[in-house]
Amino acid sequence: MSLSVWLSLMKSFYLPLFWESSTTERENQRNVDANLARIDDLAASSALLGCNLDTSRHYGRIKNDLRAKGRPIPENDIWIAAVAQQHGLTLVSRDTHFSEVGILSLEVW
């Protein structure tokens, strides 16, 4: 199932660490203004989740568990996993390394 179809079936979804997406768009795309406008449209209809003390606790547990297993993942992805875990959300990603975060609900598309 494509991401656009999957998102259309969802009643709501959340965007943790939104800045990472807009930074990636700026660095990697030719049509920066059009891509940032698409991100702005998506953000306007979505809940944006930030980080707080509880998020940092989830982050610490995830990072320590990954270190103990010898299976590190990128730092920003640990933050994304921590926000999803904190709010009991399913994380949707093409990055299969999120499966290393054992107690995370994950949908790989």
Between 67 and 6, residue with greater pLDDT: 67
| Residue-level pLDDT at 81 | 93
Cβ contact 62:101 at 8 Å: yes
3-108 belongs to CATH 3.30.479.30:
no
Read off the pLDDT of residues 7-60 as tens digits, 9 standing for 90 and up. 555 555 555 544 455 555 555 556 667 777 777 787 777 777 888 999 999 999
What does the mean pLDDT of the chain come to?
78
Q: What does the alpha-carbon distance between residue 109 and residue 99 come to, in Å, rounded to a whole number?
A: 13
| Residue-level pLDDT at 64 | 96
| Residue-level pLDDT at 93 | 86
pTM exceeds cut of 0.75: no
Query: What sign for the dihedral angle of Cα 102, 65, 59, 76?
Result: negative
Please determine, for residue 4, whether its predicted confidence score (pLDDT) is greater than 90: no
| Residue-level pLDDT at 91 | 87
Q: Which two tokens stand for residue 44?
A: 């306007």
Cβ contact 63:56 at 8 Å: no
Tell me the CA distances in angstroms from 12 to 6, 27, 46, 70, one per residue in order.
11, 28, 7, 35
